[in-house]
Amino acid sequence: SKAVILGAISPSDERWPAAENLLKTAYHTLSSRGYSDDEIYLMSPVGISEISKDTMLPNSDTLTDYVLKTWAAADTRDVVLYLLGDSSKNADGEPVFCIPDESGTDLNKCPENLQLSASDLDSSLDALQTGNITVTVIYEGNNTATFLRQLIPPDGKKRILIGSTSENQSPD
């Protein structure tokens, strides 16, 4: 089993203390369920207090090109992907997960280089599931239903999708 935790809320955001707590809870929950440090890939803009594991800066290319297609696919039958952050829509109206830079993310101005589109994530998950791998995606943020609806698994594959909000709803 492997798990990816992607925390995409800037430390300069007023929500950071709550976000950091959620990231710690996700990490400790996975650890208590038997995931080792080597089986958890943690991506966050900064290190997480009380967690000694190194974190990688959130980056959509790293997530789709390396973490999901290479690291998560090696020697596993199931992958958990925990997303924490905001979604928006790109210029084409497609749902995107916004990854903050150092200055934070303005959802109305989520620049292209900080966007993880639902279709790109779906393609990466499809590639991951060419083997016999079950994927669980847990997404905590605003409008998660709109984003998750795009993550349809290939025929005959199992993908569990859990969101914290419906369309046009914030997690507040």
- For residue 88, the Cα-to-chain-centroid distance in whole angstroms is 14
> Rounded distance, CA 8 to CA 101, Å?
9
User: Quick one: CA dihedral 122, 143, 17, 22, positive or negative?
Assistant: negative
Q: Say if residues 87 and 147 touch (Cβ distance below 8 Å).
A: yes
User: What is the chain's alpha carbon radius of gyration, rounded to the nearest angstrom?
Assistant: 15
Q: Given its phi and psi angles, is residue 104 left (phi above 0), alpha (psi -120 to 50 degrees) or beta?
A: left
> Sorting pLDDT into bands at 50, 70 and 90, what band is 83?
very high
Q: pTM surpassing 0.85?
A: yes
Please check the confidence at residue 137 and state whether its pLDDT lies above 90. yes
- Joined together, the tokens standing for residue 41 give 């890939």
Please check the confidence at residue 91 and state whether its pLDDT lies above 90. no
> Sorting pLDDT into bands at 50, 70 and 90, what band is 131?
confident
**Higher pLDDT residue, 44 or 139?**
139
Confidence at residue 122, expressed as pLDDT on a 0 to 100 scale: 95
Total Cβ atoms within 10 A of residue 36: 9
Q: 2-8 and 78-89: which strand pairing?
A: parallel
Please check the confidence at residue 106 and state whether its pLDDT lies above 80. no
Q: Say if residues 168 and 160 touch (Cβ distance below 8 Å).
A: no
